[in-house]
Amino acid sequence: MTTSHYIAGRWVEGQGSDCISVSEPALGLPFAELMAASVAQVDQAVAAARDALPTWKKVSASTRAAFLRGFAEQLGQRRAELITLQMRNNGKPRHEAEIDLDDAVATFAYYAELAEQLPSKNRDVPLAAAGFTARTRLEPVGVVGLIVPWNFPLVTSAWKLAPALAAGCTVVLKPSEVTPLIEQTYGQIADALGLPAGVLNIVNGKAETGAALSSHNGLDKLSFTGSNSVGSQVMRSASAQCRPVTLELGGKSAIVVFDDCDPDQAVEWIVAGITWNAGQMCSATSRLLVQDGIADALLPRLQAALEKLRVGNPLTEEVDMGPLTSQAQWLKVASYFATAREEGLQCLAGGQALDREGWFVSPTLYADVPKDSRLWTEEIFGPVLCARRFATEEQAIAEANDSRFGLVATVCSADLERAERVADALEVGHVWINSVQAVFVETSWGGTKGSGIGRELGPWGLSGYQSVKHVTRCLG
């Protein structure tokens, strides 16, 4: 795969120094290679986006909406191949890969509708002072760089690409070097739809490519999803240019289970929150706070449920959980298993890498984990759940909020008034009540504290790619 970069409407060979090896995590073996983009090619991509901007931002809202609907339709037509690629390169079970594809389709369709409503967003502003009129214009912020992670490729890029194009921005997209293949689909669709050259550009690469894009002075905004360590570097690069950023970073989220909850139902929500995508989610509810009155009934059920999960190769087996996506992540999770043994944590389930080909680990549950344990405070990004007991609602809220992260949380209780009250008290960006982590394109996504800056999805996602201009006119 030499022509792996889409720049100014053309597929070009990578000219960088890095060779990207793409692996199948269920086997632990590479199946594709591509050459990274060079710094000069990043320059070319930004220049192409800059050249395309004046025309694209003047394109009618209905035309942009038609392109977005075209992306949704083309994704649907490629459904089978994209689901298989998600399973192969990410290790996702089939049902998860299907939801990913549906999510991406829904995102483009939703922002097509918002794009058509944009003309109504320009409105007159009433003034208290006589002799003047004022109106508001919403304009595209300009050329944006989009850097997306490996855990939800196709999906995270849709969350950024669709609203950016709807707003009238032109973009340079950098996929993760771990999962670079599926994002090529967006370039193929752009070709098929006749999207004007330079509106969408795709450059693949490792850290050098990402650094070249995030520090480029030709960007007007940068949107990044990934780790806190890289996010802080992105923010430093943006600060040198005084450039706005959207950052969706890590999490160490809590799921709070009160003693009026049905334990079997609670187990379903808990397991989904920690094992979906093999726990490789910034939103993974990896801290379980369980009330004293239900703990003795719930923990054995949870242990049994985790031990019954079918873990394997999604392309050859019917599985509930696939492998970790990269060897690096597999080694990281294994290091936390070693830390747990050193700390003497009580392991009720799992706690080990599986003795088989590929990057598999067991779904894991630790009980009575101290608050100062690294496993309680640090983002692991794997199917590792740590449990603690609490006595009162106030204690649950305090312990859930005692984190440097603030992305999401889940509350489980038959007392809906209490559940709503606790949801309001949690210092996070999104709360589920008595539910798995259902994410809808109409709602917002993003966190507080160290979990990032800004919001994606919903109208908030669109506004992140818009600039507000006021025009005031003297009538005298």
Nearest to 408 by CA among 255, 223, 290: 255
Residue 8, number of CB atoms within 10 A of its CB: 16
Q: Domain check: are 401 and 465 in the same one? A: no
392 three-class SS: coil
Which CATH number goes with the domain that contains 207?
Answer: 3.40.605.10
Q: Domain check: are 239 and 97 in the same one? A: yes
* pLDDT of the residue at 3: 67
Sheet holding 123-124, edge to edge: 123-124, 132-140, 466-474
Q: Domain check: are 310 and 240 in the same one? A: no
Residue 18, number of CB atoms within 10 A of its CB: 18
Report the catalytic residues. 248, 282
Considering the domain boundaries, does residue 446 fall inside one?
no
For the segment 435-462, what is each residue's pLDDT rounded down to a tens digit?
A: 999 999 999 999 999 999 999 999 999 9
Q: Domain check: are 295 and 222 in the same one? A: no
Tokens standing for residue 285: 């509810």
Q: Domain check: are 425 and 287 in the same one? A: yes
What domain range includes position 323? Answer: 254-440
Tokens standing for residue 459: 């109208």
What pTM was estimated for this model as a whole? 0.96
Residue 340, number of CB atoms within 10 A of its CB: 21
Q: Domain check: are 294 and 172 in the same one? A: no
Residues constituting the chain: 476
Percent of the chain with pLDDT over 70: 99
Q: Domain check: are 280 and 369 in the same one? A: yes
Q: Domain check: are 227 and 320 in the same one? A: no
Q: Domain check: are 134 and 160 in the same one? A: yes
Distance CA 205, CA 212 (A): 10
For the segment 40-77, what is each residue's pLDDT rounded down to a tens digit?
A: 999 999 999 999 999 999 999 999 999 999 999 999 99
Nearest to 175 by CA among 154, 196, 197: 154
Considering the domain boundaries, does residue 38 fall inside one?
yes
Taking only Cα atoms into account, the Rg of the chain, rounded to an integer number of angstroms, comes to 23
Q: What type of residue sits at position 231? A: G
3-state secondary structure 107-144: HHHHHHHHHHCHHHHCEECCCCCCCEEEEEEEEECCEE
Q: Domain check: are 185 and 94 in the same one? A: yes
Q: Domain check: are 340 and 219 in the same one? A: no
Distances (CA, A) of 50 to 55, 146, 196, 240, 323: 10, 15, 13, 20, 40
Q: What type of residue sits at position 58? A: K
- Total number of domains constituting the chain: 2
For the segment 374-405, what is each residue's pLDDT rounded down to a tens digit?
A: 999 999 999 999 999 999 999 999 999 999 99
Considering the domain boundaries, does residue 445 fall inside one?
no
Distances (CA, A) of 385 to 83, 255, 287, 290: 28, 10, 6, 12
Q: Domain check: are 75 and 117 in the same one? A: yes
